Structure 1
Amino acid sequence: MPAYQLASREYQQEDTVIELKTCRIGSGQVVIIAGPCAVESEEQMLGLASTLKEMGVHILRGGAFKPRTSPYSFRGLGEEGLRILARARELTGLPVVTEITDVRNLDMVLKYADILQIGSRNMQNFDLLREVGRVHRPVLLKRGLAATIEEWLLAAEYILAEGNRNVILCERGIRTYETYTRNTLDISAIPAIKELSHLPVIADPSHGTGRRSLVAPVARAAVAAGADGLMLEVHPCPEEALSDGPQSLLPAQLEHLLAELRPMAESLGRRLSGSI
């Protein structure tokens, strides 16, 4: 038995499936999570959310608390951003995922979010992992920027060991010597996780590349490698985005990508369109 006992295939052979109102993550459906890096205003979020709903997106994403490298960068709207996400959910019926960065904000985020995201910087924030493990809300756990696959699964183990078995792993790229891309998205980690763990795994080609032109081809590669879903940053005007504009797709680009992915998923015996 490996060190990550509860996350391992030895512990559970059957794939874990995360049940949501609009989709089942880990069931053979390619789930699409999309939205802006950061919630910037109600007008921006509600307008984009309606567009994404029409395209067939399953889950809305948007950051209310943004951990930034520079203390002078936009760091999110806080609870007002969460309220806007809740309004977007009311408008569209789509569940929302947002990042929690501080254990002190857990109760606040739980009031608004359907899925709690643990970002790359917090993958080994063990106190935070334990706390989200004690709530019955799905947790999307991003791989740390220099984490091995085993370290990533051990981080998931912290959540599972506290009783929360609804963990979604997210490959978002790791730090390498390459400087052309923001990170190096580890495509091989997707089938590796499928061998090692029963937990669903999705890919984030937006952070994995940092370049809008590379998001679609890497998204296709992730689906071909077996990813249970994609997390994509979309913004109606990326050049004016307060966070991650260079890697954000325009809505029309996302629509084109989804049109490419539908027949591709079907050829692999999976599906992208439709709900549960």
Structure 2
Amino acid sequence: MIVVMKTSATEENLQHLVKHVEQLGLKANVLRGTERTVVAAIGDERVIGVSALESVPGVDTVMRVLAPYKLASREAHHETSLVKAGTLEVGGKAIGMIAGPCSVESEEQIVETAKAVKAAGATALRGGAFKPRTSPYSFQGMKEEGLKLLATARQETGLAIVTEVVSPEDVDLVAGYAEVLQIGARNMQNYRLLEACGKADAAVLLKRGPSATIDEMLLAAEYILDGGNARVMLCERGIRTFEAHTRFTLPLATVPYLQQKTHLPVVIDPSHGTGHTSLVPAMAKAAIAAGADGVIVEVHPDPENAKSDGYQTLSCEGFAQMMAECRRIAEAVDRTL
């Protein structure tokens, strides 16, 4: 159930409503917009009528949410959420550009990449310290030492850090080094991890699982939102289909569809979505044309010798060229880059 407060409602009115909602046996989640504040009353709505909340001082309207994802629904929050995390902003007029290597390999590699992507216009640095890999024999990342190297790169450039967390036990550790916790596709339905990220003091980039439906991704986001963390970004990184010409199939219709259903900003990953370096720039431009709020791509100073995913990774020079082309697309759709 969504309770929309009047524009004239005071903080005292809001807190009174929250207390009233909790007394009714529901959980109150406050969503503050630029124009209106709404309260999502989560729980068994069947035992409570709309009239039980309509008479509370400061309340404008009360409505039931039909979508199973209550907090992620645009019914709950009409404006697109602006997620801020250090230098990264996603959900506003400016498109957030996240770039960096699949894996952190050395201080020289990550600092060189950070400087190059910042110079090209990236607003955040990505890099994996913990790497869940299909094969146990593949490079698994440098763990905490990799996080320390990411912190060094941030110190050198000021860029916000986006890095993956793979287990609930590591959330506090990773959040101590990074502004954004990435939940990878393999972990989209790791509910203990989602709950832990819901309590973290860091933004979250939630990637769609390769076989997950849109509703399943939104319900995964709901776990994080329900934990109290409102800074959630959704990432389309491609799904598994019968096609074999790309690593995954990147459905860009996800962008406008999600923007109709949810207030959470949408990021596109053309690196994993295609699996081919030559296809990344075209799909990044297409994502911006489709209305994406952010793009995340893999960049490495020497892709041929990268320890992971070199076949889908741009060189620093290739990223700079892609950014120049993306700026023209962004301007055409009234966005900035």
Q: Is the 8 A contact 2:206 2:235 kept in 1?
A: yes
Question: 2:99, 2:309 → 1: CA distance?
Answer: 14
Cα distance, 1:47 vs. partner? 1.2
SS in 1 for 2:153: helix
TM-score (norm. length: structure 1): 0.97
The yes-or-no answer on 1:228 pairing with 2:293 is yes
SS in 1 for 2:218: helix
Moved more, 13-22 or 233-242: 13-22
Q: Is the 8 A contact 2:270 2:280 kept in 1?
A: yes
Alignment equivalent of 2:223, drawn from 158, 165, 168: 158
* Partner residue, 2:174: 109
* Partner residue, 1:188: 253
Question: 2:204, 2:84 → 1: CA distance?
Answer: 12
* Partner residue, 1:243: 308
Cα distance, 1:136 vs. partner? 2.5
Alignment equivalent of 1:53, drawn from 100, 118, 135: 118
Paired residue type of 1:74? F
* Partner residue, 1:34: 99
Alignment equivalent of 2:209, drawn from 127, 133, 144: 144
Distance 1:222 1:74, change over 3 A: same
Paired residue type of 1:120? A
The yes-or-no answer on 1:78 pairing with 2:78 is no
Alignment equivalent of 2:324, drawn from 251, 259, 265: 259
TM-score (norm. length: structure 2): 0.80
SS in 2 for 1:253: helix
Alignment equivalent of 1:88, drawn from 134, 144, 153: 153
Question: 1:13, 1:104 → 2: CA distance?
Answer: 34
The root-mean-square deviation of aligned C-alpha atoms, in Å, is: 0.8
* Partner residue, 1:168: 233
Cα distance, 1:134 vs. partner? 0.9
Gaps of at least 5 residues in structure 1 are: none
* Partner residue, 1:179: 244
Question: 1:22, 1:102 → 2: CA distance?
Answer: 26
Paired residue total: 272
Question: 1:223, 1:262 → 2: CA distance?
Answer: 9
Alignment equivalent of 1:7, drawn from 47, 72, 75: 72
Question: 1:111, 1:36 → 2: CA distance?
Answer: 20
Cα distance, 1:76 vs. partner? 0.2
* Partner residue, 1:97: 162
Moved more, 148-157 or 24-33: 24-33
Paired residue type of 2:225? L
SS in 2 for 1:51: helix
Gaps of at least 5 residues in structure 2 are: 1-65
Indicate the structure whose relative CO is greater, using CA pairs within 8 Å and at least 6 residues apart.
Answer: 1
Cα distance, 1:17 vs. partner? 0.3
SS in 1 for 2:112: helix
Question: 2:227, 2:201 → 1: CA distance?
Answer: 10
Question: 2:201, 2:70 → 1: CA distance?
Answer: 20
The yes-or-no answer on 1:130 pairing with 2:195 is yes
More strand per residue: 2
* Partner residue, 1:198: 263
